[in-house]
A and B are shown apart, each in its own frame.
Chain A
Amino acid sequence: MDANDSDLELIQRTKAGDAQAFDTLMRRYNRRVYQVIFGLTHNHADAEDLTQETFIRAFEHIRSFKEEYRFYTWLYRIAVNLTFTYLKRSRLGPQILEHEDCTALEVADDRMGAINEDCDRRRNIERALMSLPADQRLVLVLRTYEQLSYEEIARVTGTNIGTVMSRLFRARAKLRTALARYLEGR
């Protein structure tokens, strides 16, 4: 039984009223949903709340899930819609990035120098990601971190494959420019 078949079995049991089945599904996917939402908001408090909201909606509307599709694309679609609605409503504007405070680290020995560098690189990668428009960032996260196919990304974002490819191309081009110094010599 592969992963998708067991998802289907769990969904059918949830539709029949088995809350434990949904709990299993939720534990299976909550990290991935959180990751997608965090990729958009870059705020842990928001990601936590929106993740819970996603699963609450999924649980309430599980009967409307069409079993010919994959569960996680449906789940991601709920998560993405909720996140975009939240971002639009809150009008946060520039996102508040959550990252380590690299300046707090003191260079005590050679290892600390490397740690500082890693911290710096991570922060720059986060900044570069957050500088992308939300729709491009979403497509990049779904492709790079979630390994979704173009067709699955199109379903999650409610667009077509051409749009997905175009957004992915532009996102990668911007990141290549922003992170050029880390790409040299790799």
Chain B
Amino acid sequence: MTCKQIAQRLQQYFDDELTTAEQRLVETHLSECPSCQQAVDELRQLRSLLMAEPLVERPDCYWSELADQFWVIHNQRKRMQRRLTVRPLPFFSTPRVIALVTAAVLFISIGIIGLKSVVTSVPSSHPAPKTEVTPLEKPEAVLAEREKAVSQETKTVTAHRRTVRTAEPGYVVEEPAELAPQTDGSSAVARRFEETDSQRTVVSRPTAIPTSSGDSRIGMVPVTPPFHGTGKPGKADIARKIPSPKSVAKEPGKEKTPDLQPDISGPLAGQKTALSPRLLFLPEVPDSIRKKYAGTQVPVRVAVEPDGKVSHAELAGSSITPELVPMILDLARRARFAPAFADGRPRRTTTAITVRIRPPKTEQD
């Protein structure tokens, strides 16, 4: 055999992958060809160099601890899977019932919207609604109602917050801070934004929205430019609030004093209400990560679907250890939220959370 033919088989010969007959042929050639023999010797030297040190050096107890840890992780995963399984009520699992309920909700919503448009187009010959008051009285009445609604809604929100899971996942999650009610009774200050389907609304803390019928609805009032530009309207702002020229033009029959009448029929009327999504569950952080990155804080922005699942997660900051990024994003994507609501229906929203990694349980106080 020639050197070229042998060269193609040298690696296989070295790795004992040749048949016995082929092996004998190569050995015969090697005994007569120093250069081919040198090639085999180089392979042998390389192998002994690589195997001089083990690839991984760990004490024996490490491997048994690794095996012990497997069952801990396995059991945690099983518990997590059980928690994530949502058992629907048998009655509501029927697709027909769900379709009926959805149709009923839609029908009612359309009916309400239709009714509103009829009510707002009532001609001026009708008697003025009862909520029409003198310019000096109305703002204070509105303020008093709103103050009352704020305290009611704050209790509701606080009660809801208590159900959020906090125990032992290896992290602490900080959601956007709850807004404190304004002591002067003025309307809410915008603190965060939520993207709804078609518009970007400034969401403020809850306050009452007086309707034309005199009922007040508790909900989130968007603080839009007609109010102010600073974010903190006072009593004077509310008193000064005037309908935009467009809305006045649309309702020529209405006799309002532009300077003094609150714009109930303008941007505030019929505004959608929405609470922020609430974090219910976040998967656990492995102990090895907790040991290494205890105390690290990672801001994450998530998009929460109406079913409470996260459809998109991204980092909200830039200076984050690259090693942590895939794990944190994976945790965020597997999180579960109670979705935000508007008009009694869950909506897709985005929110920001900060995940702070706690040290492993044995190291904690």
Are chains A and B native binding partners rather than an unrelated pairing? yes
Contact B64 A27 (CB under 8 A): yes
Residues of B within 8 A of A49 (CB): 286, 288-289
The residues in A between 5 and 52 inclusive whose CB is less than 8 angstroms from any CB of B are: 23, 26-27, 30-31, 34-35, 38-39, 43, 45, 47-49, 51-52
Is chain A's binding surface mostly helix, strand, loop or mixed? helix
- Contact A56 B53, CB 8 Å, known A26-B67, A27-B63: no
Residues of A within 8 A of B55 (CB): 35, 38-39, 141, 145
Q: How far, in whole Å, are A34 and B67 apart by their CA atoms in the complex? A: 11
Stretch at the interface among A62-70, A106-114, A175-183: A175-183
Residues of B within 8 A of A122 (CB): 53
Is chain B's binding surface mostly helix, strand, loop or mixed? helix
Residues of A within 8 A of B48 (CB): 186
- Flag A164-186 by CB within 8 Å of B: 1 or 0 each: 01001100100110010011001
Contact A150 B43 (CB under 8 A): no
A55 in complex: contacting residue of B42, B56, B58, B70, CB < 8 Å: B70
Contact B74 A30 (CB under 8 A): no
Most interface-central of B12, B49, B63, B288 (chain A CB within 10 A):
B49
Q: How far, in whole Å, are A96 and B321 apart by their CA atoms in the complex? A: 12
Q: How far, in whole Å, are A49 and B323 apart by their CA atoms in the complex? A: 12
| Cβ-based interface call for A134 (8 A) | no
| Cβ-based interface call for A61 (8 A) | no
Residues of B within 8 A of A103 (CB): none
A56 in complex: contacting residue of B11, B15, B74, CB < 8 Å: B74
- Flag B54-92 by CB within 8 Å of A: 1 or 0 each: 011010000110110111011001000000000000000
Residues of A within 8 A of B51 (CB): 144-145
- Flag B318-354 by CB within 8 Å of A: 1 or 0 each: 0000110110000000000000000000000000000
- Contact A92 B322, CB 8 Å, known A52-B69, A141-B55, A172-B43: yes
Residues of A within 8 A of B22 (CB): none
Chain B residue at minimum C-beta to C-beta distance from A179: B49
Chain A residue at minimum C-beta to C-beta distance from B289: A45
B17 in complex: contacting residue of A141, A145, A149, CB < 8 Å: A149
| Cβ-based interface call for A82 (8 A) | no
The residues in B between 30 and 60 inclusive whose CB is less than 8 angstroms from any CB of A are: 42-43, 45-51, 53, 55-56, 58
Contact A144 B286 (CB under 8 A): no
Residues of A within 8 A of B53 (CB): 122, 125
Contact B288 A182 (CB under 8 A): no
Q: How far, in whole Å, are A164 and B58 apart by their CA atoms in the complex? A: 29
A35 in complex: contacting residue of B56, B74, B323, CB < 8 Å: B56
Q: How far, in whole Å, are A31 and B61 apart by their CA atoms in the complex? A: 11
| Cβ-based interface call for B116 (8 A) | no
- A163 to chain B minimum Cβ distance, whole angstroms, is 14
Residues of B within 8 A of A92 (CB): 322-323
Contact A175 B56 (CB under 8 A): no
Contact B42 A143 (CB under 8 A): no
Residues of B within 8 A of A145 (CB): 50-51, 55
- A77 to chain B minimum Cβ distance, whole angstroms, is 19
* 20 sampled A-B residue pairs with Cβ under 8 A: A23-B67, A30-B63, A35-B55, A38-B55, A39-B55, A45-B288, A45-B323, A49-B286, A92-B322, A92-B323, A125-B50, A144-B51, A149-B17, A150-B15, A150-B17, A168-B11, A172-B46, A179-B46, A183-B42, A186-B48
- Given contacts A30-B63, A169-B11, A172-B11, 16 further A-B pairs with CB under 8 A are A23-B71, A27-B63, A27-B67, A30-B66, A34-B66, A35-B55, A47-B56, A48-B66, A49-B289, A52-B69, A56-B77, A141-B55, A143-B15, A175-B46, A179-B46, A183-B45
A contact residues vs B (CB 8 Å cutoff)? 23, 26-27, 30-31, 34-35, 38-39, 43, 45, 47-49, 51-52, 55-56, 59, 86, 89-90, 92, 96, 122, 125, 141, 143-145, 149-150, 165, 168-169, 172, 175-176, 179, 182-183, 186
B contact residues vs A (CB 8 Å cutoff)? 11-12, 15, 17, 42-43, 45-51, 53, 55-56, 58, 63-64, 66-67, 69-71, 73-74, 77, 286, 288-289, 292, 322-323, 325-326
6 A-B pairs with the lowest CB-CB distances in the bound complex, closest first: A186-B45, A90-B326, A27-B67, A183-B45, A35-B56, A31-B63
